[in-house]
A and B are shown apart, each in its own frame.
Chain A
Amino acid sequence: MNAMDKGNKFIMEPAGAESTAAQPQPRVSRYAARSKVYPKLGHGTFRNVKWAVMAVTLGIYYLLPWIRWDRGPGLASQAVLFDFANQRLLFGPIEIWAQEFYYVTGLLVLAALSLFLVTSVAGRVWCGYACPQTVWTDLMIAVERFWQGDRNAHMRLDSQPWTFEKIWKKAATHITWLLIAVATGGALVFYFRDAPTLAAEFATGTAPTVAYVFLGVFTLTTYVLGGIAREQVCIYMCPWPRIQGAMLDHDSLFISYRDLRGEPRGPHKKGDSWEGRGDCVDCKACVTVCPMGIDIRNGPQLECIQCALCIDACNDIMDKVGRPRGLIAYTTVSNLENATAGPRDGLRIVRPRTVLYSVLIVLVSGLMLWSLLSRSDFDLSVSPDRNPLYVVLSDGGLRNGYTVKIANKLESKRHFKVSIRGLQDVRPQFIGFDGTDPVIDVAPSEVRAVRMYVSLSASARAQLKSDATPLTIAVIDTETGIEASRVTTFRGPAE
């Protein structure tokens, strides 16, 4: 008896597994085929909440690009437009330039923190109600039910041979899915180009190639992920179920079967005593409504997106058998652990992590709001020359060069003047302009770069304290008097 006797199984078996069988055994595949989920239509509070969330989120998604916003003649009239061609993000009255993309970063940080907070308080509500994968899957399932019937009818249809009825019902389902997918992909593209214009272009076949490409890509993802892959996306593709474990603790809400109350489970006939048995009548209502195809009574599972449809289903049954609702309910690990010591369904919201997330949310939104409110309608950047750092002039003076960029964020031509502070007796010089104090015109919604030289005479060099003296370059709008300034340096030789 030696290792070779284990034959080809040694690869498949975990280390330490004892097998002394001399005969080769059949390979056990670790691949499990997907068993199709046939979720039954539920009714109740949470189902209604989910319909409402679906209506609101899909409504926003499909209709937002069509909301108009008057910005003036010749300018984009779409309220929300990601205008990549002109490097602008338009949100109603707010116009974000490419160099202000940090606002978008801030929004994403805020979204992440909000997700953390909500998850630490209420568990996977994002997964259960608002995630696009959940919402579109829910929509696709509703379509499937409409054409092929609810769970039982659908299962019967699937087990039938390919009759005409089965073919047309399947075809109708897939066609409806594809129509929804096209609408979804189309709506996404509308965010990037004026919606009515693009719609007309789609109708006449004259839209830009990139629009068709993205329409195709998002049609495909909607159809495949929402219609076909469904729960597998959450189970196998999505990283979030793995990550959110870090936000959950004993006081986070999650949906659980109360096994203390439910067990031992078993069928119950009307009139029988409830003594000595659990409330669970093993009707499997919670299993049949589950869009993830799991049994909530097996305890917390990664697959569970916490959509609460099993709560509705179980409450319905409890009402029928005359037991209290809440055999399956939102609860916390603390509550479950304390259940033996008597009912205690408290919810501890104020915890270190929720406080931390809330403080961060307030900080980030405060910072963004402050930055947005104090944002100027023109912007300035100053970059000093680095090669050469400075130039010695014939009279022994010094000269530094700067590139000054003025961004005019308004839709009108504006005039600016430059002033220099921090050093006395400076001689400015502007390439392409005459005089030492020229008016610089900046076209509407444009950035203008101006080469600027600042010279100090030999006698004025005495005021330089080191090889890099701070220098402030300010730009003033000649009409409004509003100023923007940047601190840069004036360089000279090391003394």
Chain B
Amino acid sequence: MSGQKHIDEVTGVETTGHVWDGDLKELNKPLPKWWLFVFYACIVWSFGYWLVYPAWPTLSDYTKGYLGYSQRGEVAKEVADAKAAQEKYRAAIAADSLTDIQKNPELLQFAIAGGAALFGDNCAACHGRGAQGGIGYPNLNDDDWLWGGTLDQVYTTINYGIRTGNPKAHDTAMPRFGLDGILDPAQINDVANYVRSLSHLDVDAAAASKGQAIFAEQCAVCHGPDGKGNTELGAPNLTDAIWLYGNSQEAVMQSIRTGRGGIMPTWSERLDPVSIKMLALYVYSLGGGQQTQSASASTDRSASTDTAK
């Protein structure tokens, strides 16, 4: 361009001087002045920003800025603050016994709330978000406990786990009666009929009466002569309404044929002791927790109202 101004004849407005298709010109409409000044102000502002806030990447890091601010640091501080606020309770939980914690409403509330969060992170994958369990994963809300439902027993089960190889873990398993050839398929059918008859399900009476003898011989060792189970061995009560693997004839036969041996992690290898205590208190609070004989005898109303202060 020659520096000469091109004026559009029709509008009287200056054009950019570019011509397309022989006669198509573009009017020169510069940015509004106020907009331009805001833009320049932003440029000036950005220099201050670079100095004050994190701005430029370096080869291995970035410039931290005068304020040293970072959102990650802010989160870390909030987490640290929250942890510090919890420290009083966590220290008390670490120091107190489970029954002492139960008698302190404030501490119990904290433990149950923390336990609920931990349960969601660690346990819900198998036991379900509401601890309702599923086939092979016990429902923790009910009053049927494979390894015992007192607070201490729940704590022990969580702490050491089940069949993990840890020396203190619960470690008995049901034999594979069918796979290992201990019982033949007809016998398994008979025993299954008998087991189902214990909880008053519809069974083939003839098969059940044949199965009774086999039960006494093979199963009563762990499940007890009356089929009521044994929490020492993790042998379920076969006379109640709760069936971990289902109560159909086929499901019971399957259990006898292949045995059963669910696994739960040794949580003491993954969580700190305070967390495990909180989890035990939470699971116990789900409603199925059983009182130990001594605990139920020693408590009365006046004790509970005193501690509720």
Q: Residues of A with Cβ closer than 8 Å to B?
A: 4-5, 7-8, 24, 385-388, 391-396, 399, 401, 415, 429, 431-435, 438-441, 451, 453, 458
Contacts and interface: CB of A to CB of B under 8 A. Distances in A.
Interface string B274-309: 000000000001011000000010011101110011
Given A394-B241, A441-B309, A388 B132 contact: yes
B287 A401 contact: yes
A7 B143 contact: no
Contacts of B12: 7, 24
Nearest to A451: B285
Given A394-B143, A395-B241, A388 B299 contact: no
10 contacts: A8-B11, A24-B12, A388-B139, A393-B242, A394-B143, A394-B240, A394-B241, A431-B112, A432-B102, A458-B241
B144 interface: yes
Contacts of B241: 392-396, 458
Interface in B109-138: 109, 112, 128-132
Across the A-B interface, the 9 shortest Cβ-Cβ residue pairs:
A387-B130, A394-B240, A396-B241, A388-B132, A391-B141, A394-B144, A434-B299, A453-B287, A441-B308
Given A394-B142, A394-B144, A441-B308, 8 more contacts: A8-B11, A24-B11, A385-B130, A391-B132, A394-B143, A401-B287, A432-B108, A441-B305
B32 to A, nearest CB: 15
B242 A439 contact: no
Interface in B231-250: 237, 240-242
B201 to A, nearest CB: 11
A130 B285 CA distance: 59
B303 A434 contact: yes
Given A385-B130, A394-B240, A431 B285 contact: yes
A7 B132 contact: no
B105 interface: yes
A424 B243 CA distance: 27
Nearest to A386: B130
Contacts, number: 91
Contacts of A458: 241
A26 to B, nearest CB: 11
B10 interface: yes
Given A391-B287, A394-B240, A432-B108, A438 B102 contact: no
B287 A429 contact: yes
Nearest to B103: A432
A7 B7 CA distance: 13
A451 B113 CA distance: 12
B123 to A, nearest CB: 14
Nearest to B105: A432
A388 B128 CA distance: 9
B95 interface: no
B258 to A, nearest CB: 24
Contacts of A431: 112, 285, 287
B263 interface: no
Contact of B142 (A4, A24, A393, A438): A393
B13 interface: yes
Contacts of A396: 240-241
B207 to A, nearest CB: 24
Contacts of B242: 392-394
A7 B10 CA distance: 6
Contacts of A432: 102, 105, 108-109, 285, 308
Contact of A399 (B141, B299, B301): B141
A41 to B, nearest CB: 40
Contacts of A392: 139, 142, 241-242
A434 B143 contact: no
Contacts of A385: 130
Contact of A388 (B13, B130, B144, B304): B130
Given A4-B10, A441-B309, A434 B129 contact: no
Contacts of B139: 388, 391-392
A440 B102 CA distance: 15
Nearest to B141: A391
A388 B141 contact: yes
A387 B132 contact: yes
Nearest to A401: B287
Contact of B240 (A395, A433, A441): A395
